[in-house]
């Protein structure tokens, strides 16, 4: 069989705007094979899951295609985080409906968080859907597809307490061959009142550390130079051999508890040329241990995504974030004390949460100024069915107010990002080159440890290499430099 890893293709659309749309490498031209077309929406966890799905489908003889017209099976791996995310998927389904008119035999499946949230209701609401599969049920895809072949509709939205897909080697989709994501845990046990994730992803569970280290090792051997460890709340990663079965105990050779700080260290030790990143850190859980481990290893990147959501303690309490403004400020101070001003910090912010006053909104503004974020992902509050906030509080801030507050927060972040970037001008950084720059094929781009994108003159031969780059100028989004 032809090796299809680099030929795989997927369209990825990020509702969180965390990843720009990524397109197409090559198309697999193997004749006579069943073809899968897959689009991913939402967060990195979903993109990472699409790689697991592709691996499962590959075993079933599928190869992927960039052209939905060629597909025997089309999957949308969906997101429910905000109403708009779900609307995007529904619009996409109506477009796909037109394709299906000419191709009635094409199977259409909805995977991911929207599948989990709506379950079989989705089959009634969206007539073209044949298959609904939740995030913990991907191993069942072959059986479900068989069911569909017999003319039935198939649903599996069972949420598991154990599934981590630890043994499935993901097929890397749209890979630049330099950076990759490794999922280290699934689910979330926090109950932030605005958030649908605990309902769509189920209980939190951590993946066997040995399988994580092994995956990092294999990526390094294939030439990858950076891994990002993924989880909704990586600081609550915890793996205890004792709690798991004997077989795993033998495999890991230890009965100790592995914390996130321990895991970070284990992955950092794979090779000093393998960079390690992680996301997301919850302000209530990030420990000094993690910060010191970051300090001790040059290859653990000095960048922390530490979502605040709001700068006001009353709103944070309504959000059930379990920390207040002072606690958050103390965490920022700790990061600066241990890792210095060079450490990048970013955040997520929600404007117009239930009952948020103008003064409370100003607290968000002032917290952002205090933290001097390099970057933020910013949203206006979108009420989600079934969440605690939907049950307990009225969604009472008018849309125009939510949006105006959001615009203020975005404008401030633009200034902060620009200020932070200006501080980097004149410095020289070690940059891992990820590939040709988006704007010019005479230039390459990569990131420094603090996750800043740096663009400079160079060619494709630099891809995957570490180079030192002197920063000459900047915009709010990018540093521009020269290789030294
Ligand atoms: N686990 C991560 C967040 C995952 S969801 C954490 O705890 O930080 C990503 C972001 O989407 C959240 O940080 C939040 O800012 C935003 N978000 C989640 N639910 C939302 C909602 N109902 N309305 C608007 N934004 C929301
Ligand atoms: Fe959602 Fe909160 Fe869990 Fe993040 S920590 S996924 S915001 S419930
Ligand atoms: Fe969306 Fe599910 Fe991720 S709701 S943000 S795809 S965990």
What are the tens digits of pLDDT across the range 139-182?
Answer: 999 999 999 999 999 999 999 999 999 999 999 988 899 999 99
Q: pLDDT value at position 3?
A: 26
For ligand 3, the distance from its centroid to the CA atom of residue 44, given in whole angstroms, is: 8
**pTM recorded for the entire structure:** 0.92
Take atom 2 of ligand 2 and give the residue whose Cα is closest: 192
Sign, CA dihedral 219-220-223-224, equals positive
Which ranges of 308-398 would DSSP assign to H, the alpha helix? 313-318, 325-339, 358-371, 388-392
Backbone angles phi and psi of 137, in degrees to 5: -115, 15
> Which residues of the chain carry a pLDDT beneath 50?
1-29, 246, 249
Q: Give every CB contact of residue 151 below 8 A, 6+ residues apart in sequence.
A: none
What CATH number is given for 179-422 in this structure?
3.80.30.20
Give the separation between CA 191 and CA 174, rounded to whole angstroms.
Answer: 33
**Interval 247-290: pLDDT, tens:** 554 555 556 899 999 999 999 999 999 999 999 999 999 999 99
Instruction: Find the helix or strand (DSSP H, E) in which 250 lies.
Output: helix 246-252
CATH number for the 428-483 domain, one of 2.40.30.20, 2.40.50.140, 3.40.50.620, 3.40.50.1980? 2.40.50.140
Q: What end-to-end distance do the CA atoms of the chain give, in Å?
A: 44
Take atom 5 of ligand 2 and give the residue whose Cα is closest: 190
For ligand 2, the distance from its centroid to the CA atom of residue 17, given in whole angstroms, is: 17
Q: Check if the beta carbon of residue 117 is closer than 8 Å to that of residue 200.
A: yes
Q: Which residues pair with 78 in a beta bridge?
A: 112
For ligand 2, the distance from its centroid to the CA atom of residue 280, given in whole angstroms, is: 10
For ligand 1, the distance from its centroid to the CA atom of residue 81, given in whole angstroms, is: 7
Take atom 14 of ligand 1 and give the residue whose Cα is closest: 348
For ligand 1, the distance from its centroid to the CA atom of residue 319, given in whole angstroms, is: 11
- Fold type of domain 13-156: Rossmann fold (3.40.50)
Give the separation between CA 68 and CA 37, rounded to whole angstroms.
Answer: 6
Domain map of the chain by residue range?
Answer: 13-156, 179-422, 428-483
Q: Do domains 179-422 and 428-483 have the same CATH topology?
A: no
Our CA angle for 413, 417, 422, nearest 5°, is 150
Q: pLDDT value at position 347?
A: 98
Classify residue 384 as left (phi > 0), alpha (psi -120 to 50) or beta: beta
Take atom 1 of ligand 2 and give the residue whose Cα is closest: 195
Ligand nearest to the CA of 389: 1
Q: pLDDT value at position 210?
A: 95
Give the separation between CA 208 and CA 252, rounded to whole angstroms.
Answer: 8
Take atom 4 of ligand 2 and give the residue whose Cα is closest: 232
Take atom 7 of ligand 3 and give the residue whose Cα is closest: 197
For ligand 3, the distance from its centroid to the CA atom of residue 116, given in whole angstroms, is: 11
For ligand 2, which residues put their CB under 6 angstroms from it?
Answer: 188, 190, 192, 195, 197-198, 232-233, 282
Neighbours of 298 (CB within 10 A): 13
CA distances for 215 relative to 122, 165, 208, 330, 376, angstroms = 35, 12, 11, 35, 30
């Amino acid at each position: 069989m032809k090796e299809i890893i680099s030929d795989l293709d997927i369209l990825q659309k990020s509702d969180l705007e965390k990843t720009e749309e990524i397109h197409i490498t090559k198309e697999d031209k193997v004749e006579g094979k069943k073809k899968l077309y897959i689009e991913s929406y939402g967060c990195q966890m979903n993109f990472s899951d699409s790689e697991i799905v592709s691996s499962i489908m590959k075993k079933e003889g599928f190869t992927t295609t960039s052209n939905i017209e060629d597909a025997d099976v089309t999957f949308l791996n969906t997101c429910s985080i905000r109403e708009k995310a779900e609307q995007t998927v529904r619009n996409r389904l109506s477009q796909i409906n037109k394709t299906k008119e000419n191709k009635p035999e094409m199977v259409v499946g909805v995977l991911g968080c929207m599948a989990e949230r709506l379950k079989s209701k989705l089959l009634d609401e969206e007539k073209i859907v044949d298959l609904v599969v939740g995030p913990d049920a991907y191993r069942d895809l072959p059986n479900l597809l068989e069911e569909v072949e017999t003319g039935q509709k198939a649903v599996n939205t069972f949420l598991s307490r154990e599934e981590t897909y630890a043994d499935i080697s993901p097929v890397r989709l749209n890979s630049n061959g330099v950076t990759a994501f490794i999922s280290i845990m699934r689910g979330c046990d926090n109950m932030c009142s605005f958030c649908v994730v605990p309902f769509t992803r189920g209980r939190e569970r951590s993946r066997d550390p040995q399988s994580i280290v092994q995956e990092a090792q294999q990526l390094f051997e294939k030439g990858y130079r950076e891994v990002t460890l993924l989880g909704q709340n990586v600081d609550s990663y915890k793996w205890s051999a004792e709690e798991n079965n004997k077989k795993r105990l033998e495999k890991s050779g230890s009965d100790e508890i592995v914390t996130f700080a321990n895991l970070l260290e284990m992955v950092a030790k794979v090779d000093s040329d393998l960079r390690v990143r992680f996301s997301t850190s919850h302000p209530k859980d990030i420990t000094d241990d993690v910060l010191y481990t970051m300090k001790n290893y040059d290859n653990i990147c000095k960048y922390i995504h530490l979502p605040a959501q709001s700068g006001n303690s009353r709103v944070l309490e309504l959000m059930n974030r379990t920390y207040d403004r002072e606690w958050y400020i103390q965490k920022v101070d700790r990061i600066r004390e241990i890792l210095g001003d060079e450490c990048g910090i970013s955040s997520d912010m929600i404007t117009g949460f239930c009952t948020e006053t103008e003064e409370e909104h100003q607290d968000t503004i002032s917290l952002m100024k205090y933290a001097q974020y390099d970057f933020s992902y910013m949203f206006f509050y979108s009420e989600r069915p079934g969440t605690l906030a939907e049950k307990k509080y009225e969604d009472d801030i008018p849309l125009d107010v939510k949006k105006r507050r959001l615009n203020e927060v975005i404008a401030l972040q633009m200034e902060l990002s620009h200020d932070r970037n200006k501080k980097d001008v004149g410095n020289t950084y070690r940059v891992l080159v990820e590939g040709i720059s988006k704007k010019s094929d005479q230039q390459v781009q990569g990131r420094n440890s603090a996750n800043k994108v740096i663009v400079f003159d160079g060619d494709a031969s630099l891809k995957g290499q570490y180079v030192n780059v002197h920063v000459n100028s900047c915009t709010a989004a990018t540093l521009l430099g020269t290789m030294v």
